[in-house]
Chain A
Amino acid sequence: MRPVYMISGGITKFTKAEPRKSFRVMVKEAFDYALRDCSKLTVERIDGTVVSYFSDHFTRQLKAGVMAVDMCGLVPKPTIRIEGGGATGGLCFQEAWRHVASGWMDCVVAMGFETMSHVNTWKGNEFIALASDTNFDYPVGGFYTGYYAMMVVRHMHEFGTTVEQLAKVSVKNHRNALHNKWAQHHYDITVEDVRRSPMVAYPLTILDICTMSDGAAVAILASEEVAQHVCDNPVRVLGVGMGSDAMRMADRPHDDVILLKHEDPKWYRGLKYPGVHSFRAGRTACKMAYEKAAIEDPREDLDFVELHDAYTSSEIQTYEDMGLCKYGDGGKFIDQGHPELTGRIPVNPSGGLIACGHPVGATGLMQAVFAFWQLQNNIAKHNDGDATIQVRQQKGKGRRPMRGAIHSHAGTGTYVTVSILESTLA
């Protein structure tokens, strides 16, 4: 595999409903944004596309991918559609990476979208719940917030995690998004606001949960040669990893923890893993990505993380899967302020899914775009001059931020991708 660089990115502003633009036009707008930001890149240089969107039900337009590609003027170049639930965007990013890393192509556009406003929220929840076992899970009361609520109830039972700790994730992510013009929600909220908002599935309130959105995002990946030619400030894709787990939460085993390099088996004596409190796919993806990127200890070697916080609870679970803290310490990790913008390792400086929105097929690519701008030190350029969410040098780290991880997650942890990006700024 040869080195791969991200050379540009673009997004549309995510919104509850964008009835004035079809998915093709949203993708085209994100693509044009990316082209404008990398003015030496011409359409002729692009070898092909990878397109991600989660559910055919939302748009009820099969083979929608090629329609987006067509709108961008990229037919008859090769194209392929990628789908894997909530991780669709992350899988798309990695498929584009493979296109280039393998030497097959030199410049590939990863483009993703979702138009979830085409049905009402309860119908959308039904479509999403069809991404659970339709014999044994969906008919019992298929509802993803219900599934995540059960996981966090067990996490609370095992580790003493509290609802206030969950709420702090929502407060943090919304606060970061106050300074992100691309975010869907700009809410200045407190822990009390989160707890007093309507209960959706105990203990998750409406402010513990991301929303459905319309939107598109584009990431352009290239070989070293193309990157050097067309981009002054490319970002290296240092390593990628992915993992999977059984569709049904009920099937998850109760075994031993899969250890990361910096972890000690003594930490986890007696802990049954993953059960329904942890994500084996997330841990597997991290382990692989860290090995490929030579990350010895993510707490030291990563400078920020954009992770898939579809729920506040899954952000806390993911701190642990990613090794940002020990299994069981996710609640304390947020209590201690480590994932805050000025903390030890900022998590979701963009505002994450909870504040930015979650147009599924675009989400993983949105994370790539935010991480790309972070590592180019370009947040202000793309955010009307506001650099508040630009991650600064952290205490105890003798360098400015160099490396970020993006984490994309599907189902109750069925597909997870982790990609490590590194700045090339001197």
Chain B
Amino acid sequence: MKLYSRLSIDRKRTVWAWGFLTVPILFYVVIRFYPTADAMVLSFQSWNLLGARSWAGLENYVRLWNDPVFWQVFRNTFMYLILGTPISLVISFVIAYNLDKTRFLHGTLRALYFLPFLTTAVAMAWVWRWFYQPVPIGVFNNLLSSMGIGQIRFLNSTTNALPAILAPAVWAGLGFQIIIFMAGLRAIPTSYYEAARIDGVSNWTILREITLPLLKPTIVFLVVFSSIGFLRIFDQVFNMTTNDPGGPLNSTMPLVMMIYQTAFSSYQMGYAAAQTVVLFTVLLVVSLVQLRILRDR
């Protein structure tokens, strides 16, 4: 107490600041950092959850490198990213851009777009899974067959399954992206637009020269945010392919699901940890690259 009373105001402030910060720091160290570090150690070990851990050196990584399923899964993961991020951003921007100009039923429309974001991924995945079934139960295929068009194999196809699973994931994320885009659009000062109008510039030029450049911080945020989301997609895939997880023929399996299966169905914790380290690295690199490219120029 004596020691404390002798401190200057500034020092006291620091003591208090650290006092408050200790709680989240402790929390993060125990709940986040320690397990992360432990997972990295585990990736060099072999462990079946029951017995003792034993050192395995680089074995897990070598196995990963030589595992054709891993490369397929790696490709799938990037397909989710490469298709998911641009498609969802373009759609949500178009909707936000037009919604911003609409007065009629503005609030209702915005709420409707936001609604899927509030829905549980599991419930949504199961509903879409039934939508996609062949006749007699699938809505889409029943519709097609009533119009005399042939059936489409949505989920039971090595080429269609991934986009079919991605579609509800994109749809569910739209609401959030639209709201962020609209906030970004509102933040652009109207004086720029007024000046442009006085100069008689076309709408297209306004969009290209004013709106998009000034939306850059919003776009950077959404690109990074949604990329991370698509890179760790799991719920949709898991629930839409429970019979043949990540199938058919691994064509929809993302990295997170491979990790889950290796760990909790095959009980190869070390191998799963190695996959986790790879996912961590991928997420880190992709996020850093995106931040750099989108921010500096």
Instruction: Answer yes or no: do A and B interact.
Output: no
